[in-house]
């Protein structure tokens, strides 16, 4: 038969059902009428002839039915009947149905969330036309995405593999739209930014390369759509309006399209300003500083140029740069990375963590399938009699399998829909979440069509997977035996498919429970860890004086006024000032040389130390312990010799042992000799999981900075203190934007990654646990109900409770123990990977081991409780009568 | 009715193809034609004709169209397609081979073995 013909008949079967029915009816009536005509001609009266013709024709309904089957349109009708019947059967067993749907909803939901995050952060590139040709340019062995502006200009001019390159960086500014100043986050971007990305404005216009005429020549801003909506009430007349940025007049040029959220996925800016205005935006000008690396470069690869060719091309430019500028561009190799996650700096860990999470989510789905598979197998066994009867009455096996599969797919689709609804709710919340208080971090993880498609696919595949589990059972069943002897005709093999499923599930569960326990304990520890400062009872005020256009000498003057005013607030026990705080986002490092070193190239450096510029009161206010030596005084200013306080690690690295450090000297790359006057305890600076870093503290009067953090220690109620701080600082300068936050809250930044890890692992662990419980429950109830009659007889013959229980559940418990132990061992192996994200994660912790054992024991107890009590209550008389 | 033979499974389709190959027919006409060409020796249950007709249409061996019968009634007429004619030839050959082989086999006597 030709394909076309079959499609046509199928289509006519589907869409022209009524017409077909009518035609067939007419055709059969026509046949009978012709026959009646013949009979009438042979002398039979018309009415009698019609009656006889109809009788001769035979069962008209049956033939119509058979004809329709022959026409092929039957498929849909059977399917509809199967679906109706499936729903009826599922409604009859609400417990089973809801267990199956919830199990699958959890698994599909978890997978949808994880996939959506993966999709948002890894699979989806930056949302611009031709995003797949966009690359971040990275430098050096540590894959730093940060570059300098002069290098950017050289790379853009001298490369031959890119259509164009853009540079941008992220900075806070003070924005005054006519009311009071507030702080906002901007991308400072090269003039070609929007043109290279191929974007069109939503309103007004973008700035272009032609708007750049040297430093501070381009006082324009372009708003993001979301900032325009939230801060300008979607007012289309903002185009052309003047606003004050850091007290300089800027013109709003336009608004970007809603779906463009900047070129870093995590960082949604409020608006863009041209990078040539860096001096007004950041208070200093790095445009001519080849060694000052703070910019990200994106390049748009030429069509047809391979990534490897582009890397080679870039490195030939890099070789030229290092020959021409040996001091600043010493030994740098360049590389390409996917854009959007600060190159591989964030991209590496994010991708690693998400692949781990995807694996765990997959494990959940597998466990859920195994679970549902055994549920469906148990159900098929329970329905053995029904199935046997249908087989005996002439139903074909394929028909019965089709019915069972339809039920499985109904369950999988229901579960998928419920899971997806929950996932969407969670993802909406995640997308609106601002996890880090002082930085505009967003998680662009709203589900798109791809996520829905994957969820649907997963649901269907898992439906077919667990729907197929009982197939062999049905194919082998012998209706005669089943009807005669009941369902327990066959004695089980040594190890059944269901056993393997159960063990797999328990292994998965134990792995998940182990990892989440490790993560939770790690998080609990990290809150009480030695940070090298004490975030309790401390309040932070963060601002940048250049937001109110403080320059030169006015910066330290204003800082002193701030500090004095804050110290005068009642209840403040100490106050300090620094240019940044440890464990917040953003840090600075300096290359350190031993005093004896004369070759000040970076290859001869002794250490790369974290740098903090602090006021004399900082150490006390931050709660950082001074071990030996002295703290700074107000006499350590620009006119006196340079001094520093260092941490133990610094002293160890430069002087071999902490004891010798105080009084000693070291050098910076500029050749300045600096004397160490104090030694403080070690701490955490960038991340909680970092290796111990050397750190150095300089007096802020000797290395001034407009970036300002005030640390205020007080026992007062944080809210009252915040109000007092607010009015005090506003009293000094109403045009200075600032933020007040408790230091504990600011720690959210540092704890962010381990919190995310803990929450996601905790959720997956809980799911794994629930799945294991339902899995064990299903297995135990199945065993008990199959052997209920035997158990009843045993009880009647005087078996003890212990014997009954071991007969009923012994096997399940053995399987469980085996699974738990292998899962625990696997978990121990896998949690090594966790240590990268979670602070002090060690699975070899007695608490973890005990926790897992106890948890698995409790799950086992919960899961077998009901079947066990059912086994014990087996009433021999009832059961014997029943058969 | 005892002189009527039961149809072997699968032969109905062949009979229908043959009947229709002699000229377009409606369902009842097919029945009459089979009766005529087989000398009323083959018994066909009237209703059973239709599933077979629909099957042949679906297989693309027959086409159907509505028309007016000799009794002046609306009826659906069936016609052989090109594939239908090819199929009829193949099946006729196959049937003849089978019939000859069967006849030869059944004629066998002990002496021949």
Inform me whether the pLDDT recorded for A583 exceeds 70. Answer: yes
Output the six-digit token pair for A751: 């704890």
Nearest to A1 among B52, B60, B73 (CB): B60
Nearest to A35 among B28, B53, B60 (CB): B28
Compute the half-sphere exposure of residue A26: CA atoms within 13 Å on the CB side of its CA. Answer: 13
Evaluated on CA atoms A409, A413, A414, A419, the torsion sign reads: positive
Model confidence pLDDT, tens digit, residues A259-310 = 887 888 777 888 898 888 887 887 777 787 777 777 888 888 888 888 888 8
Model confidence pLDDT, tens digit, residues B16-58 = 999 999 889 998 899 889 888 888 777 778 888 888 888 888 8
Q: Which residue has the higher pLDDT, A381 or B93?
A: B93
Model confidence pLDDT, tens digit, residues B66-106 = 989 888 889 999 999 999 999 999 989 988 998 899 899 99
* Mean pLDDT, residues A514-536: 77
Inform me whether the pLDDT recorded for A490 exceeds 50. Answer: no
Banded pLDDT at A479 (limits 50, 70, 90):
low
- For A754, residues 6+ apart whose C-beta sits below 8 A from its C-beta are A519, A522, A523, A526, A688, A689, A837, A838, A839
Q: Tell me, what DSSP letter sits at residue A264?
A: B
Buried b (16+ CB within 10 A) or exposed e, A94-132: eebbebbbbbbbbbbbbbbbbbbbbbbbbebebbbeebe
Banded pLDDT at A328 (limits 50, 70, 90):
confident
pLDDT reported for residue B1: 40
> Which residue(s) pair with A679 in the sheet?
A628, A646
Q: Which residue has the higher pLDDT, A389 or A717?
A: A717
Residues within 8 A of B (CB atoms), A 47-106 only: 56-60, 62-64, 66-72
Query: From B50, which residue of chain A is nearest by alpha-carbon distance?
Result: A67
pLDDT reported for residue A487: 47
- For A190, residues 6+ apart whose C-beta sits below 8 A from its C-beta are A152, A166, A167, A168, A209, A212, A274, A275
pLDDT reported for residue A489: 43
* Mean pLDDT, residues A557-562: 90
* Mean pLDDT, residues A724-736: 86
Round to whole Å and give the CA distance between A605 and A589: 13
Q: With an 8 Å Cβ cutoff, is A6 touching chain B? A: yes
Query: From A23, which residue of chain B is nearest by alpha-carbon distance?
Result: B76
Output the six-digit token pair for B47: 């209703």
Evaluated on CA atoms A561, A585, A433, A267, the torsion sign reads: positive
Average predicted confidence (pLDDT) for chain A: 80
Q: Tell me, what DSSP letter sits at residue A640?
A: S
What are the chain A neighbours of B53 within 8 Å (beta carbons)?
A: 67
Residue from A299, A229, A305, A317 nearest A270 by CA? A229
* C-alpha A874 chain-centroid distance: 49
Residue with tokens 């001609």: A41
Burial class (CB in 10 A: 0-12, 13-18, 19+), A867: buried
What are the chain B neighbours of A35 within 8 Å (beta carbons)?
A: 28, 46
ipTM above 0.90, yes or no: no
Output the six-digit token pair for A820: 């738990």
- 8 Å CB contact of B47 and A69: no
Q: Which CATH number fits domain B11-112: 3.30.465.10, 1.10.760.10, 1.10.10.10, 3.50.50.60?
A: 1.10.10.10
Strands of B62-68's sheet in order across = B25-26, B74-80, B62-68
Residue with tokens 């699974």: A819
Give the 3-state DSSP-derived string for A461-513, with helices as H, strands as E and coil as C.
HHHHHHHHCCHHHHHHCCHHHHHHHCHHHCCCCCCCHHHHHHHHHHHHHHHHH
What are the chain A neighbours of B28 within 8 Å (beta carbons)?
A: 30-31, 34-35
Residue from A192, A189, A191, A154 nearest A314 by CA? A154
Task: Say how many C-beta atoms besides its own lie within 10 A of residue B27's C-beta.
Answer: 22
Q: With an 8 Å Cβ cutoff, is A858 touching chain B? A: no
Q: Tell me, what DSSP letter sits at residue A679?
A: E
Compute the half-sphere exposure of residue A328: CA atoms within 13 Å on the CB side of its CA. Answer: 15
Inform me whether the pLDDT recorded for A855 exceeds 50. Answer: yes
- 8 Å CB contact of B46 and A35: yes
Round to whole Å and give the CA distance between A43 and A60: 25
Residue from A222, A230, A233 nearest A199 by CA? A222
- 8 Å CB contact of A72 and B60: no
> Which residue(s) pair with A660 in the sheet?
none
What are the chain A neighbours of B26 within 8 Å (beta carbons)?
A: 30-31, 34
Task: Using DSSP, state whether A656 is helix, strand or coil.
Answer: coil
Nearest to A34 among B57, B60, B71 (CB): B71
Min Cα–Cα distance to chain A from B61, Å: 8
pLDDT reported for residue A7: 58
Number of helices (H), then strands (E), in chain A = 28, 22
- 8 Å CB contact of A31 and B60: no
Residue with tokens 């106890």: A854
Round to whole Å and give the CA distance between A494 and A801: 25
Model confidence pLDDT, tens digit, residues A731-774 = 888 888 888 888 888 877 777 777 777 777 777 778 778 777 87
pLDDT reported for residue A697: 94
pLDDT reported for residue A690: 73
Residue from A625, A622, A618, A630 nearest A700 by CA? A618
What are the chain A neighbours of B59 within 8 Å (beta carbons)?
A: 1, 5
Length of chain A: 883
What are the chain B neighbours of A61 within 8 Å (beta carbons)?
A: none
| Domain segments of chain B as ranges | 11-112
Inform me whether the pLDDT recorded for A98 exceeds 60. Answer: yes
* Mean pLDDT, residues A418-437: 80
Which of the given ranges, A93-97, A319-323, B33-37, has the highest pLDDT on average?
Answer: B33-37
Inform me whether the pLDDT recorded for A827 exceeds 80. Answer: no
- 8 Å CB contact of B57 and A35: no
pLDDT reported for residue B78: 93
pLDDT reported for residue A491: 46
pLDDT reported for residue A1: 44
Model confidence pLDDT, tens digit, residues A128-170 = 777 778 888 888 766 778 888 888 888 888 888 888 888 888 8
* Mean pLDDT, residues A47-59: 86
Round to whole Å and give the CA distance between A458 and B60: 39
């Amino acid at each position: 038969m030709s394909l076309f013909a079959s499609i046509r008949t199928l289509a006519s079967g589907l869409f022209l059902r009524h017409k077909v029915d009518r035609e067939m009816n007419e055709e059969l009536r026509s046949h009978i009428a012709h026959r009646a005509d013949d009979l009438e001609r042979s002398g039979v009266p018309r009415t009698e002839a019609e009656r006889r013709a109809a009788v001769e024709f035979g069962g008209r309904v049956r033939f119509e039915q058979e004809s329709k089957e022959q026409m092929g349109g039957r498929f849909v009708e059977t399917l509809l009947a199967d679906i109706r019947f499936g729903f009826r059967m599922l409604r009859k067993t609400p417990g089973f149905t809801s267990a199956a749907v919830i199990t699958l909803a959890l698994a599909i939901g978890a997978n949808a969330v994880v996939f959506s995050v993966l999709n948002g952060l890894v699979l989806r590139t930056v949302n611009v036309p031709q995003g797949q040709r966009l690359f971040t340019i990275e430098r050096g062995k540590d894959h730093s995405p940060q570059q300098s502006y002069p290098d950017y200009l050289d790379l853009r001019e001298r490369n031959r593999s890119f259509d164009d390159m853009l540079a941008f960086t992220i900075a806070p500014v003070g924005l005054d739209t006519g009311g009071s100043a507030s702080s906002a986050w901007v991308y400072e971007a090269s003039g070609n930014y929007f043109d290279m990305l191929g974007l069109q404005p939503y309103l007004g216009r973008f700035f272009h390369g032609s708007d750049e005429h040297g430093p501070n020549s381009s006082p324009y801003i372009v708003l993001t759509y979301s900032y325009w909506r939230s801060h300008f009430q979607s007012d289309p007349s903002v185009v052309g309006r003047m606003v004050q940025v850091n007290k300089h007049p800027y013109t709003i040029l336009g608004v970007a399209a809603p779906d463009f959220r900047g070129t870093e996925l995590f960082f949604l800016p409020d608006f863009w300003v041209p990078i040539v205005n860096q001096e007004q935006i950041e208070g200093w000008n790095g445009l001519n500083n080849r060694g000052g690396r703070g910019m990200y470069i994106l390049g748009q690869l030429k069509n047809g140029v391979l990534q490897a060719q582009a890397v080679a091309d870039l490195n030939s430019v890099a070789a030229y740069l290092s020959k021409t500028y040996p001091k600043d561009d010493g030994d740098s190799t360049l590389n390409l990375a996917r854009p959007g996650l600060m190159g591989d700096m964030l991209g590496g860990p994010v991708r690693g963590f998400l692949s781990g999470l995807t694996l765990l989510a997959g494990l959940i789905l597998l466990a859920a399938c195994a679970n549902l598979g055994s549920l469906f197998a148990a159900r098929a066994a329970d329905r053995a009699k029904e199935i046997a009867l249908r087989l005996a009455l002439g139903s074909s096996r394929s028909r019965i399998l089709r019915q069972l599969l339809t039920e499985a797919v109904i369950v999988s689709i229901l579960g998928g829909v419920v899971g997806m609804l929950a996932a969407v709710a969670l993802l909406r919340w995640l997308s609106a979440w601002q996890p880090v208080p002082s930085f505009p971090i967003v998680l662009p993880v709203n589900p798109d069509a791809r996520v829905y498609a994957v969820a649907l696919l997963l649901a269907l595949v898992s439906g077919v997977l667990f729907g197929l589990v009982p197939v062999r059972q049905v194919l082998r069943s012998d209706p005669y035996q089943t009807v005669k002897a009941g369902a327990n005709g066959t004695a089980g093999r040594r190890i059944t498919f269901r056993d393997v499923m159960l063990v797999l599930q328990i292994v998965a569960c134990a792995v998940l429970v182990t990892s989440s326990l490790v993560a939770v304990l790690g998080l609990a520890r990290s809150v009480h860890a030695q940070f090298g400062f004490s975030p309790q009872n401390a309040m932070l005020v963060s601002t940048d004086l250049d937001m109110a256009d403080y320059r030169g000498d006015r910066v330290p003057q204003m800082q002193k006024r701030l500090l004095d005013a804050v110290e005068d607030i009642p209840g403040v026990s100490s106050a300090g000032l620094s240019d940044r705080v440890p464990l917040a986002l953003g840090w600075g490092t300096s290359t350190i040389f031993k005093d004896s070193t004369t070759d000040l190239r970076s290859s001869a450096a002794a250490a790369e130390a974290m740098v903090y510029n602090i006021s004399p009161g900082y150490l006390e206010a931050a709660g950082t312990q001074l071990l030996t030596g002295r703290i700074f005084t107000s006499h350590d200013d620009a006119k006196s010799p340079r001094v520093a306080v260092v941490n133990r690690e610094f002293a160890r690295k430069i002087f071999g042992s902490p004891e010798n450090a105080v009084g000693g000297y070291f050098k910076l790359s500029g050749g300045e000799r600096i004397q160490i006057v104090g030694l403080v305890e070690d701490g955490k600076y960038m991340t909680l999981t970092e290796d111990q870093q050397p750190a150095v503290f300089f007096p802020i009067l000797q290395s001034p900075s407009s970036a300002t953090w005030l640390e205020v220690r007080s026992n007062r109620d944080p809210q009252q203190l915040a109000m007092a701080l607010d009015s005090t600082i506003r009293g000094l300068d109403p045009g200075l934007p600032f933020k007040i936050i408790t230091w504990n809250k600011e720690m959210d930044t540092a704890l962010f990654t381990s919190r995310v890890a803990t929450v996601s692992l905790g959720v997956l662990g809980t799911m794994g646990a629930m799945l294991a419980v339902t899995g064990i429950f299903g297995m135990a109830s199945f065993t008990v109900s199959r052997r209920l009659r035997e158990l009843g007889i045993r009880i009647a013959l005087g078996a003890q409770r212990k014997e009954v229980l071991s007969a009923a559940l012994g096997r399940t418990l053995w399987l469980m123990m085996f699974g738990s132990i292998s899962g625990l061992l696997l978990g121990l192996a896998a949690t090594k990977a966790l240590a990268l994200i979670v602070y002090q994660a060690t699975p070899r912790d007695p608490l973890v081991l005990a926790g897992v054992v106890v948890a698995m024991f409790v799950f086992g107890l919960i899961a077998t409780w009901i079947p066990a009590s059912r086994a014990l209550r087996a009433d021999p008389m009832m059961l014997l009568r029943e058969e | 009715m005892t002189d009527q033979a039961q149809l072997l499974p699968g032969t109905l389709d062949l009979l229908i193809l043959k009947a229709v190959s002699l000229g377009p027919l409606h369902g009842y006409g097919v029945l009459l034609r089979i009766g005529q060409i087989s000398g009323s020796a083959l018994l066909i249950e009237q209703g059973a004709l239709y599933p077979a007709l629909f099957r042949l249409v679906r297989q693309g061996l027959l086409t159907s169209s509505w028309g007016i019968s000799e009794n002046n009634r609306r009826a659906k007429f069936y016609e052989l397609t090109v594939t239908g004619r090819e199929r009829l030839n193949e099946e006729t050959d196959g049937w003849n081979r089978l019939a000859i082989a069967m006849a030869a086999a059944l004629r066998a006597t002990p002496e021949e073995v």
